[in-house]
Amino acid sequence: MRKIIIFTGIIALAALTGFLITGCNIIMPDGNLGDGTDDDFVPVTNIIGVYSTVAVGTVSLGGRVVPSDATNQTINWSIRPMEDDIEGTISGNKLTTTKEGDITVRATIKDGKAKGVNFSKDFYITVEPFVAVSYIEYDGPTNEEVGDIYLDANVYPDDASYTDIVWSIRNAGTTKATINGVILTTKAKGTVVVRATIFNGASGGKDYTQDYSISIYVDNDPD
């Protein structure tokens, strides 16, 4: 009688916990293997957006983690002891070099693949002479009706090391302005100040920025 009571108790416990009993074996339910696996963990599969060519000096290496919802995304940079032409140092995500040549860096994400398993990838970078941005010439309208405005601009000198412009709103004022890429959208009268930024465009690894004011009017009445 005691054996029956004990066996009945095991069946009741199994029913409460979701285990399946077959003969003398207890099978754990799907999704709970009992090995500490975290079903919510998203592993890193790649790192992209790292510059393959940079200029002499201190520059940001860039880098984006794939997928964007990976559980661990902090990139730790290091110099690889390869047979490169030049040497450099890394602080955070900034690489500092003193002459042109080739250098190899490694991006590592701790526990990127799984707990206790890091994700690492090497990048081979060409270092070229640095040419700083001297100015950005804005060619778009400075007085425009409410709506969309194309933010057109040219970077000088033509051979600047970095020329990609990222637009942002410095001060929307009363215009309710927003930016999507190179398109500025306004919804009300006023003055909006936009900023053009070229990352690494200035010497010392600093960004080059320049601001522009645009007057916005309503109903084709500049006043």
Mean pLDDT of 184-191: 97
Of residues 37 and 132, the one with the higher pLDDT is 132
Backbone dihedral region for residue 171 (phi beyond 0: left; psi -120 to 50: alpha; all else: beta): beta
Of residues 10 and 140, the one with the higher pLDDT is 140
* Mean per-residue pLDDT over the chain, rounded: 85
pTM of the model: 0.56
Cβ atoms of residues 93 and 51 within 8 Å: no
pLDDT tens, 106-126? 999 999 999 999 999 999 999
pLDDT higher than 60, residue 24: no
pLDDT tens, 128-155? 998 999 999 999 999 999 999 999 999 9
Please report the pLDDT score of residue 76 as a whole number.
96
Q: How many C-beta atoms lie closer than 10 Å to residue 171's C-beta?
A: 14
Domains of the chain, earliest start first: 1-35 (no CATH), 46-128 (2.60.40.1080), 135-217 (2.60.40.1080)
Q: β-pairing, 62-66 with 46-50?
A: antiparallel
